[in-house]
Amino acid sequence: MEYSTEILYNRTSIYCTPAHRFGTDALLLARFARPAPGQRAADLCSGCGVVALEWHDKGHRGPCLALELQPEASALLARAAADQGICHIRPVCADLRTWTPDPGEAGQYHLAACNPPYFAAGPASPDPARAAARHEGSCTLADVCACAFRLLRDGGKLTLCHRPERLAEVLAVLRQYRLEPKRLAFVRSSPGAAPWLFLVEGQKNRRTGLKLEPDILVSAGAAQYGPAHEG
């Protein structure tokens, strides 16, 4: 498989193809949902593995599951991890709707993150890989939350990024799956501009109490692997 290479700040390489690449939203998600160095973490809908590799680049060395439906994307992460001697990231090519963790893993994860498909309706791309990444045909919000609930320990966190027009729905689905929304931040291109993205963290089996965090200021058209400037 031919691929290009993107380099993160601490020299971790990510392998990409035109069909399997990443954007600013995935990096923002990884930085909003950073696990402690030894915690057990999961990157759901991992694609080429940007979230798992960004965590590694920032010092995470705990067990890291990277669950991805598309074989080509999962293979890119597997190759990147093998080429760099990264042993703690475990790429798994499987459908999160039906995949179940081993008995020793279920309910043991401290953190899960997901950059899910954003669109529930509308025309889909003729490219199957792009359509799967952008439309909910094979992965809905409910599917993500159900998978995260199986993985997470009590108090464990699921973090999502999504489009602002679906905020109410995202919060409702998190609560439906007993992942209480606890942190919320909007991403804007400039102060006072309408947000183009939000980041939200839900915690398993916790009481209500949502904290609105400061806006994150970064252009929607920023370089794929450029820095996230926090306001």
Residue 230 lies in a domain: no
- Tell me the per-residue pLDDT of 59-73, one tens digit each, with 9 for 90 and over: 999 999 999 999 999
The encoded tokens of residue 189 equal 């291109």
Residue 135, in any domain of the structure: yes
| 171 domain-assigned | yes
Q: How many residues does the chain have?
A: 231
**What does the pLDDT read at residue 35?**
98
Q: Residue 93: what are its φ and ψ, rounded to 5°?
A: -90, 105
Predicted confidence (pLDDT) per residue in 168-197, tens digit: 999 999 999 999 999 999 999 999 999 999
Q: Is 159 among the domain residues? A: yes
Taking the C-alpha atoms of residue 207 and residue 229, their distance in angstroms, rounded to an integer, is 31
pLDDT at 224 over 80: no
Both tokens assigned to 136: 């909910």
Residue 157 lies in a domain: yes
Q: Name the domain count of the chain.
A: 1
- CATH code for position 67: 3.40.50.150
148 by Cβ neighbours in 10 Å (0-12 / 13-18 / 19+) ranks as buried
By CB neighbour count within 10 A (0-12 exposed, 13-18 middle, 19+ buried), where does 193 fall? Answer: middle
Domain of 111 in residue numbering reads as 4-223
Is 229 part of a structural domain of the chain? Answer: no
